[in-house]
Amino acid sequence: MASDEYRQSRLEYLRAWFIPEDLESYIRERSYKQSDWDDPTEWVNGMTLALAFQFREYLPDYNEEATFRIQVAMFLIDLIGRIEWNEK
Q: Which of 85, 73, 67, 65 is nearest to 48 (CA)?
A: 73
The number of distinct structural domains making up the chain is 1
pLDDT at 88: 60
Contacts of 18 (CB under 8 A, 6+ apart): 51
Contacts of 75 (CB under 8 A, 6+ apart): 10, 11, 14, 20, 23
Asked whether the predicted pLDDT for residue 1 surpasses 50, the reply is no
59 C-beta neighbours (distance < 10 Å), count: 19
pLDDT at 67: 94
pLDDT single digits (tens) 21-48: 998 898 888 775 555 566 788 888 989 9
Give the range of the structural domain holding residue 58, as residue numbers without chain letter.
2-30+39-84
Task: Evaluate if pTM is beyond 0.75.
Answer: yes
pLDDT class of 84 with cuts at 50, 70, 90: confident
pLDDT at 80: 85
